[in-house]
Structure 1
Amino acid sequence: MSAIAWLSRGVAAVGILLLIALLPWLSGRDPALALLRARSGEQEASAETLAAIRTAWGLDQGPFALLLQWARGMLRGDAGVSWVSGKPVMAGMLHAGSVSLTLMCWSLLVAVAVILMLSLPALWRGVAGRQPASGSAVAVLLTTLPEFLLATVLLLLFAVWQPWFSPYGWQSPRDVVLPALALGLPAGGYLGRLYAEAIGTAFSERWVITWRMAGIRRWAIIRAVLQRGLISLLPVLGQVIVALAGGAIAVEKVFAIPGIGRATLGAAIAQDLPALQCGILLLLFFAMSVSCACRLVQSVLAGRAMRSFSLSTPEPTQKANSSYLLAGISLCLLVALLMAGLPRDPWQTAFTRLADPDWGLPFGADAMGRDLLARVAHGTLHTCLLALGVALICLVTGMIAGIYPGVFSGPMELANALPTTLAGMMVVALLGPGESGAVLAVVLIAWAPLAAHSTALAAEIRARPWLRLLPLSGIGPVRRDYFYILPALAGPLFRHAMLRVPGIALTLTSLGFLGLGAAPPSPEWGRILAEGMPYVERAWWGVLTPVIAMTLLALLSVSGASLTFRRSSK
C-alpha cells in the first residue's frame, strides 16, 4: 500500500473527528444563539442574554480551547451536557445505544434465519452435483424494500389492518418483532443471495472436483465450501451491518423506539449539538469497529485454510429476462402514475381532510385536504430528476477518483463506512434541514461505489499493452490520464451511474422521511410519507400511496443493480 494511500486515510480520519468536534462552530451560526434556540425558542436573543450564555457555558473561550476541552472530556467518558435537557449526554446516549444494540442483535438473528433459508437450496444442489440456480424471486422481494419502507408496510399489515402487534413503543418483547423484521429481512435477503452465489461458485471450482476424486468425505467438502463462501461474504457483511445501523435510525422513528439513532436524529433537528456530537461519534465508532472486525476475521479464516483459493466477492445475480421484465413493468407503472397525476394540482386544498379514495380522488386526500395522487406524481418527477443530478455529480467524482486512487482511498473507505443518514445529520447540523443538504449528504456517500468501479476499470486499462507504449510517443502521464483513460472510463461508468438513479432517489426519500430533506409543503415522497404517519390508523391510504410508488422504484432499483453487475462482469 502506497504512502499516499496511508496519508489519505489519516487525513480522512482526522478530518471527520475535527468535523464532529467543531460542529458548533462550523455551522455558521452563533453557538450561543443555537443554544438559546435549543432550550427556548421564544426567548428574545438580546445581546445581554447571548453574552450571559457564552459566559455560563464557556463559549467565550473560542473554538480551539473548547475543542481541547471536548477531547479531554471524551477521553474520560464525558460528552458534555445537553443544550435542551441540561442533563449529561453520555449516560442517555449509552442507554439509547443499548436499546439499538438489542434491536440490531434481534435483526441479525432474523437475517441469519433468512440466509439459511436462501442458501440451503444452493448447498443441496451443489452436493447433488447440479448447476446453481439464479437468484430466487423470494430473495429478490426481500431485498427490494428499504428498511424505512418495509417498516411502514409491516406497520400497516400487522399493526393497523391486523392489530397483532403494537404500532409504537418499546415496552414488551412483542415490540421487537416488527422492527427486527424490518431490519433483518432486507439484510438477510441480500446476504442470503450472496452466500448462495458463493456456495454455487465454490462447488464449481477445481479443488472440489479434486477432493471428490481423492475420496475425501462429503461432510469435509461441505464444511470447506461453507467456509469458502463465508470468506467471500465477510467484506460485504461489514458494509451490511453498517447499513443496518443507518436503517435502524428510520425504523426507530417509525416505531417510536428510544434508540441511539432516533435520539441522534432528534438532536440534529433540535440543534442539540453536544448530543448530536456524541451520537454521531458513537455510531461512527460502531461502524469502524464492525469494518475492522470483519476484515480481521476474514484474514484469520483465509490464513488458516484458504490461502490457495480465489477470494473474490460474489454479487447477487438473477436471470437477465427476469431483470428486464421486472424493470419494464415497474417503469411502465411509474409512467402511468406520472401521466395520471401530473395534470392535477398538488398544492390545492380543495378536498375534505383525510378524504377516502373514490373515483374522483383515486388515492384520497392528505391531512391538509390535498390530492395524494397529484402530490405523489409530482414528487415522483421531482425526486427522480434530483436523483439524476446526484448521479451525474457522483459520476464525475468517481471518474476523478479512478484516476487518483491513492488520493481518494481514505475518503472512499470513510464513505463506505458511513450510513447516509449519519452524513445527513452532520450536514443538517452545518447547513440546517433542506433539500440542498439532503443532496449534499447523498453525494458524500453515493460516489464511493462509482469510485471503486472506476478504480478497478482504470487499473485494467493501465495494464493494456498499447497504453504502456504511450510514453514512447512522448505522451506524459497527465495527457494519458485525461485523454486516454478517462474516455475509456466514461461509457461503463455512465451506465453504472444511470442504473443507480432509482437507489439514489430512495435514499433522498429516506432523508426526507426523517426530516432531513425538503421542507413542507414540498410534494416529496419522504415528506408525504412522514406527514401521513401520524394518521396511519385512521387514514392508511395516506401512507399506502407513497409506499406503492416507492415500491415500484425499489423494484426498478433492484433490477438495475443486477444489470449493473452483469454488464460490469462481461
Structure 2
Amino acid sequence: MTALAARAGAFPAIRGLLVVFGSLSGLALLVGSLPWLSGDDPAQTILRARSAERELDPAVLADIRAEAGIPADPVSGTLSWLAGALRGDFGNSWITGAPVSPSVVQALGISMTLAGCAAAVSLVVGLLVLAPSVWRATGTGEPVGNGAAATGAALAALPEFLIAALLLVVVSVHWGLAPTSGWTGPANIPLPALALGLPAAGVLSRVLASAVDSTLAETWVRTWRATGFRRAVLARALAHRAVAVAVPQLVLLFVGLLGSGIIIETIFAIPGLGATALEGVLAQDLPLVQACVLVLVLLGLALGGLGILAHRAALGSALRTSGMAPSRAATRGGPRWALAAAAVLGAFVLAGLLRDPYAIGLELRLQSPSAAHLFGTDALGRDVLARFGHGALVSIGVSVAVSLLALVLGVLVGTAGTRARAGVADVLNAVPPVLVGVVLVAVTGPSLFSAAVAVAVVTWVPLAVHARTLAAEVRASGFVQAAVIGGAGTGTILVRHLLPSVLPAVTRHALVRIPHNALALAGLGFLGLAGSQDSPEWGAMLSESLDYAEIAPWTVAAPAAGLALLGLVAGLARTRG
C-alpha cells in the first residue's frame, strides 16, 4: 500500500514536469518558427544588419545561412537548440556570431536589479497607501476606505511610458539630477524604477486592500476586538494574514516587472533582458530570443514555486489541520464616487463621439483648449476631444473584453486543481506581453486584434494565481472538510463553497486589471503594434503626442486623464461578497 501511495503521489509531480517541459518546448518552437511564420528570410535580415549596401546575392545569402547555422526548418532547429540549452549552451548569435550566454547573463543581472528596485518602490508606496486604512480598521472593523482605493486605482492607471517620459523631461533634462539613458551606475536606477514601480504599487495596493477586507470579515478578527486585544497586535495579525494571501501576487509582480520593463528599458536605453529580447526579435536573432525567453520562464517558474512555498509557510499548520476560516467580505464600496467618475468619463466620450476624429486642419495645429475645441488640437490640427471619444471605444471596450476573458479563465484554472503548484500559469506570466505582441505582429501585421491577443495571453495569470491561493485556503477550512466527510462531490464543493468564496475577491482584482490591460494595450500602441498610426486608440495618441508634451501638454493630458478616470471607476466599483 505504501508503495502504491508513493506512486500515486508521484504522478501529479511527473505530470506537472511534463506540462512545464511541454510549455517550454512550445515557446522555443514558436520563437524558432518566427521566420517561417512571417515569411522573412533571416539571412537577408542578417545581411542588412551587417552591411545595408550589399546586394541580396543568393550565393552570399547561402554563405550567411551556413555561417550562422540557420536551420532548414523550425522543428530541427528548435530541437538542436534545446539539446544545447540542456547542456548550458545557448548557441551563438546569428548577427554577431558571439556566444549568446554572456550577453543574456549580463542582461538578466541588469533587469533583475531594475525589477527588484521597482518592486521595492511598489511595496513601499503600496503599504503607505494602505497603512492609514489598516490602522483605522483595527479600531472600527470597517473595510478599506475609498481614499486608499482611489489612490491605488489612480496609480494603477498611470502609463509607465508616460511617467518615464515626464521624469526624463523634468528630472533629467530640466533639473539635470539624473542621466537620461544607459546603465553605468546607481544614478541610472531611480527614474526607471519609479516609472515601473508606481503603477505596480497601485495594483499591489488594491490586491492587499482586497486581502485586508476579506481578513476583516473573518470571525477571529471580531473575537480579538471584542476581547480587548491591543490595536498594534491586531494590526500585525491583519498584516500577516493579508500578506499571506498576497505573497504569490508579490512574486508575480516581480516576474511581471522583469517582462514589462521592455518599454522602460527601451526609453532609457537600458541593455536589460527585455530590451535584448526585443532587439533579437526585430533582428530575427533567434538563438538570442530563445535564450532570453527560456531564462525569463525558468525564473518565473522558480519564483512561482517560491511564492507557493511562502504562502504555505505563512499560514503554517492551518492549511493542513482545517484551521482556516475564510469568509466573504461584506464590502461597503464607493458606488457614488465610481458613478461620478463614470459619468464624467462618459460625458466626455459622448461629446467626442459627436465629432470627427480624422478631420485635419493644419492651420489649427496645437491650439490650446477653447470653446470650439474643449481639449485643444493635436499636431495635425485634429480635435483631441473627438479622438479621445472614439479612442475610448477601442481602449476601454477591448480592455473590458480582455478582463472578462481573463476572469473566466483565471477562476476556472485557479479552482480546478486540488493543490497549488507552479505550472503553465507561471510560464506564461514570465513572457512579456510586448514580446508576444511583437511576435504576433511579425506574423499578422500591426492590428488591434494582435495586441488584444498578446495582452490576453498573460493577463489571466495573476487572476488564476489569486484564485488558486484563495481556493487553497477555502479547501483547508473546516466547513469544506465537513462537506467532504459528508459525501459532497467535487462539483458541489466547487459551486457551493469554492466559487462563492473565491469569485468576489478575484472579480474585484479583475476590475482593477481593466485599466492595467488598457495600459498594456496603450504600451503596444505606443510601440506602433496596435494598429495604424492615425488610430485614435489612447496608446497611439500618447505615442504621437509625447514629442509635443512641453508645448502642448493637453494632447497628452486627455488620454492620460481618460486612463486615470477608468482606473477610478474600476477601483471604486466594488462587488459585494
Scaled by the length of structure 2, the TM-score of the pair is: 0.75
- Which of residues 107, 111, 117 in structure 2 aligns to 1:106? 117
Q: Does 1:14 align with 2:25?
A: no
SS of 1:59's equivalent?
coil
Counterpart amino acid of residue 159 in structure 2: L
Q: Which residues in structure 2 correspond to 1:173-322 (within 5 Å)?
A: 173-192=186-205, 195=208, 201=215, 206=220, 226-303=239-316, 320-322=332-334
Whole-angstrom distance in 2 between the partners of 1:402 and 1:196 = 20
Contact 1:363–1:545 (CA under 8 A) maintained in structure 2? yes
Whole-angstrom distance in 2 between the partners of 1:397 and 1:198 = 21
Q: Which residue of 2 aligns with 1:378?
A: 390
Q: Which residue of 2 aligns with 1:474?
A: none
Q: Cα 1:544–1:174, aligned 2, differ >3 Å: closer, same or farther?
A: farther
Q: Give per-residue Cα distances to partners, 1:431-451, cap 9 Å, x unaligned.
A: 454333212222323445676
Contact 1:89–1:275 (CA under 8 A) maintained in structure 2? yes
Q: Does 1:335 align with 2:346?
A: yes
Q: Which residue of 2 aligns with 1:543?
A: 556
Contact 2:337–2:572 (CA under 8 A) maintained in structure 1? yes
Q: Which residue of 1 aligns with 2:144?
A: 134
Q: Which residue of 1 aligns with 2:4?
A: none
Q: Cα 1:394–1:262, aligned 2, differ >3 Å: closer, same or farther?
A: same
Q: Cα 1:131–1:354, aligned 2, differ >3 Å: closer, same or farther?
A: same
Q: Which residues in structure 2 correspond to 1:56-71 (within 5 Å)?
A: 56-71=67-82
Q: Cα 1:278–1:532, aligned 2, differ >3 Å: closer, same or farther?
A: farther
Q: Cα 1:307–1:296, aligned 2, differ >3 Å: closer, same or farther?
A: same
Counterpart amino acid of residue 545 in structure 1: A
Contact 1:147–1:183 (CA under 8 A) maintained in structure 2? no
Could you tell me how far 1:158 is from its partner in structure 2? 7.6
Contact 2:129–2:151 (CA under 8 A) maintained in structure 1? no
Q: Which residue of 2 aligns with 1:524?
A: 537
Could you tell me how far 1:269 is from its partner in structure 2? 3.7
- Which of residues 18, 27, 45 in structure 2 aligns to 1:37? 45
Contact 2:28–2:294 (CA under 8 A) maintained in structure 1? no
Q: Which residue of 2 aligns with 1:89?
A: 100
The count of aligned residue pairs is: 551
SS of 2:159's equivalent?
helix
Could you tell me how far 1:149 is from its partner in structure 2? 0.8
Counterpart amino acid of residue 162 in structure 2: T
Contact 2:429–2:461 (CA under 8 A) maintained in structure 1? yes
Q: Which residue of 2 aligns with 1:28?
A: 36
Q: Cα 1:451–1:303, aligned 2, differ >3 Å: closer, same or farther?
A: closer
Whole-angstrom distance in 2 between the partners of 1:396 and 1:95 = 39
Whole-angstrom distance in 2 between the partners of 1:118 and 1:493 = 19
Q: Give per-residue Cα distances to partners, 1:187-246, cap 9 Å, x unaligned.
A: 34544555567668379753895799799x998777666544443332222222223223
Could you tell me how far 1:37 is from its partner in structure 2? 2.5
Contact 2:71–2:77 (CA under 8 A) maintained in structure 1? no
Whole-angstrom distance in 2 between the partners of 1:207 and 1:401 = 30
Could you tell me how far 1:33 is from its partner in structure 2? 0.7
**Percent of pairs identical after alignment?**
31
Q: Cα 1:55–1:344, aligned 2, differ >3 Å: closer, same or farther?
A: same
Could you tell me how far 1:492 is from its partner in structure 2? 9.0
Q: Give per-residue Cα distances to partners, 1:140-161, cap 9 Å, x unaligned.
A: 3234344861552464378349
Counterpart amino acid of residue 220 in structure 2: R
Q: Cα 1:38–1:520, aligned 2, differ >3 Å: closer, same or farther?
A: farther
Counterpart amino acid of residue 113 in structure 1: V
Q: Cα 1:558–1:61, aligned 2, differ >3 Å: closer, same or farther?
A: same
Contact 2:157–2:563 (CA under 8 A) maintained in structure 1? no
Q: Which residue of 1 aligns with 2:166?
A: 156
- Which of residues 362, 365, 368 in structure 2 aligns to 1:351? 362
Q: Give per-residue Cα distances to partners, 1:384-404, cap 9 Å, x unaligned.
A: 333455456557756876897
Q: Cα 1:278–1:285, aligned 2, differ >3 Å: closer, same or farther?
A: same
Contact 2:144–2:212 (CA under 8 A) maintained in structure 1? no
SS of 1:274's equivalent?
helix
SS of 2:457's equivalent?
helix
Q: Cα 1:70–1:535, aligned 2, differ >3 Å: closer, same or farther?
A: farther
Contact 1:4–1:406 (CA under 8 A) maintained in structure 2? no
Contact 2:133–2:148 (CA under 8 A) maintained in structure 1? no
Q: Which residue of 1 aligns with 2:3?
A: none
Contact 2:248–2:307 (CA under 8 A) maintained in structure 1? yes
Counterpart amino acid of residue 16 in structure 1: S
Scaled by the length of structure 1, the TM-score of the pair is: 0.76
Unaligned runs of 5+ in 2: 1-7
Unaligned runs of 5+ in 1: 472-476
Across the aligned residues of Structure 1 and Structure 2, the Cα RMSD in angstroms comes to 5.1
Q: Cα 1:148–1:253, aligned 2, differ >3 Å: closer, same or farther?
A: farther
SS of 2:180's equivalent?
coil
